[in-house]
């Protein structure tokens, strides 16, 4: 009788609850990965992400093969069809027990429930593991046993849970049998083409090297440097985390074991907490995964028609240099610096007053690290429709942000070469006091007026 590990958003050998449990149970162990392009497209997966995931699945297949575990690729279009494939696979290989780590999007939960019901009916044990976050999802609750809707108290509770529990890593499995030949999936399925060049190196080993390198080189200065897009101040681990090549738990434990102390590392650990926080929000408030606002009253907002403004935003020709630089970075590399995600999201929702859902989808369609919980959480935060939202009257001024976080215009110059010759002052707002370089647009919206209008629309919600 065979145990089967179903890999999904957890493409790693080390610190993987489902894999460890399956290998501890009995031999032999098999593994599978379901290739579902239609579902990925429906979920706005980017080409960059699909490429990243499939390449990492191939790396995983080779690692597992060395341990005597075959990872089989099962092809189906949607989640619904994939369950037929999974069921057939289980019958064909006489699977006794299925193991997987939970995912928390609403379609994923529905799929997992159906998988559980169908396979249980065949007499197969179905074991699921709550492994996506450092503290198991649903563990961190207020004193009234309610989910937190504000980050700071959540993070305090989260930190004390870690102190009390001292989480440890699941060991990577040892050999389960003689080496087998690794199956490999071929290149990008049909809807996903023209992925940008990979931003980060392939494989679990590369992920750990990058984590170690971050801790050695940049963690201490993280708090001071992380907001400057021209500075290499962040960990850039998000593609690995979003797709489970690394776990948040591995990051946390590596940070603690590094012996580094101080504001830098603690600020970074807070980012791991943000990730857990938003996964919990997705879990406790399923409405956010069907494009509904966390704050229901904000559903009454009437957003502008997207039109030409939305096109200009997507393509990086809004006439606001920091916004355009950021949007071009996203489209070209599949990644955007976090400070810029806030600036561009705030600009779309508060200055252009375009529905946050459109921005959320565009980010997903382009990001290599697109992760429903964090992307939705971040967008709703920016749009003031979400948890712990910035008060609606607090609207970033993108020019001010640009002056503060890209003071020499280095980042703008990199992505908006039309403006490269402007001096450090003018580059943030070329329309002010001088001739705009040829080929660069005037601002498509008046920042001051649009800010006032947005605040008024939010104010009107309360009346």
> For residues 2 and 236, which CB has a smaller minimum distance to DNA in the complex?
236
Options 325, 342, 345, 372; binder of DNA; rule CB under 7 A: 342
Least CB distance to DNA at residue 149 (A): 4
| Residue 291 engages DNA in binding (rule: CB under 7 A) | no
> Active site includes 338?
yes
Contacts with 411 (C-beta within 8 Å, 6 or more apart), sequence order: 228, 229, 230, 322, 325, 337
Options 150, 300, 420, 460; binder of DNA; rule CB under 7 A: 150
Stretch that binds DNA, among 63-71, 140-148, 286-294, 355-363 (CB under 7 A): 140-148
Least CB distance to DNA at residue 397 (A): 4
Least CB distance to DNA at residue 105 (A): 21
> Active site includes 356?
yes
| Residue 221 engages DNA in binding (rule: CB under 7 A) | no
> For residues 184 and 400, which CB has a smaller minimum distance to DNA in the complex?
400
> Active site includes 274?
yes
> For residues 2 and 400, which CB has a smaller minimum distance to DNA in the complex?
400
Q: Considering 81, 225, 303, 403, which one is annotated as catalytic?
A: 303
Stretch that binds DNA, among 32-40, 153-161, 170-178, 249-257 (CB under 7 A): 153-161
Least CB distance to DNA at residue 121 (A): 39
Options 143, 145, 166, 197; binder of DNA; rule CB under 7 A: 143
Options 56, 339, 413, 426; binder of DNA; rule CB under 7 A: 339
Residues taking part in catalysis: 271, 274, 303, 338, 356, 379
Interface contacts to DNA, rule CB under 7 A: 142-144, 146-153, 156-157, 270-271, 274, 338-339, 342, 388, 390-397, 400-401, 404, 447-448, 451, 462
């Amino acid at each position: 009788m065979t145990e089967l590990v179903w890999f999904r958003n957890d493409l790693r050998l080390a610190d993987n609850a489902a894999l460890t449990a399956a290998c501890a149970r009995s031999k032999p162990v098999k593994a599978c990965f379901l290739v579902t392009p239609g579902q990925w497209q429906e979920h706005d997966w980017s080409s960059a992400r699909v490429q990243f995931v499939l390449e990492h699945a191939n790396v995983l297949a080779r690692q597992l093969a060395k341990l005597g575990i075959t990872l089989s690729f099962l092809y189906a279009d949607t989640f619904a069809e994939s369950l037929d494939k999974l069921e057939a696979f289980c019958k064909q290989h006489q699977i006794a027990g299925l193991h997987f780590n939970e995912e928390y999007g609403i379609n994923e939960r529905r799929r997992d429930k159906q998988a559980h019901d169908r396979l249980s009916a065949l007499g197969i044990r179905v074991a699921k593991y709550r492994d996506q976050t450092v503290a198991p999802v649903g563990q961190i609750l207020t004193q009234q046993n309610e989910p937190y809707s504000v980050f700071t108290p959540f993070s305090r509770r989260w930190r004390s849970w870690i102190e009390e529990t001292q989480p440890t890593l699941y060991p990577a499995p040892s050999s389960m049998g003689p080496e087998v030949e690794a199956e490999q999936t071929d290149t990008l399925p049909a809807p996903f083409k023209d992925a940008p060049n990979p931003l980060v190196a392939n494989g679990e080993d590369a992920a750990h090297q990058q984590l170690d390198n971050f801790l050695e080189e940049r963690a201490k200065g993280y708090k001071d440097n992380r907001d400057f897009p021209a500075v290499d101040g962040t960990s850039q681990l998000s593609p690995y985390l979003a797709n489970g090549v690394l776990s948040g738990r591995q990051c946390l434990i590596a940070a603690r074991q590094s012996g580094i102390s101080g504001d830098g590392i603690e600020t970074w650990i807070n980012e791991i907490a943000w990730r857990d926080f938003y996964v919990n929000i997705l879990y406790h408030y399923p409405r956010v995964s069907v494009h509904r606002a966390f704050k229901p009253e904000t559903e009454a907002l009437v957003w502008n028609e997207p039109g030409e403004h939305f096109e200009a935003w997507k393509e990086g020709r809004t006439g606001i240099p920091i916004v355009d630089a950021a949007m071009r970075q996203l489209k070209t590399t599949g990644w955007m610096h976090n400070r810029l995600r806030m600036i561009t999201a705030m600009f779309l929702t508060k200055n252009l007053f375009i529905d946050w859902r459109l921005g959320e989808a565009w980010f997903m369609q382009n990001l290599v690290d697109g992760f429903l919980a964090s992307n939705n959480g971040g967008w709703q935060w920016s749009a003031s429709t979400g948890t712990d939202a910035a008060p609606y009257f607090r609207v970033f001024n993108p020019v001010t942000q640009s002056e503060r976080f890209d003071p020499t215009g280095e980042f703008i110059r990199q992505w908006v070469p039309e403006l490269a010759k402007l001096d450090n002052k003018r580059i943030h707002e070329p329309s002010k006091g001088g001739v705009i370089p040829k080929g660069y647009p005037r601002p498509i919206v008046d920042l001051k007026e649009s800010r006032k209008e947005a605040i008024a629309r939010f104010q009107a919600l309360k009346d």
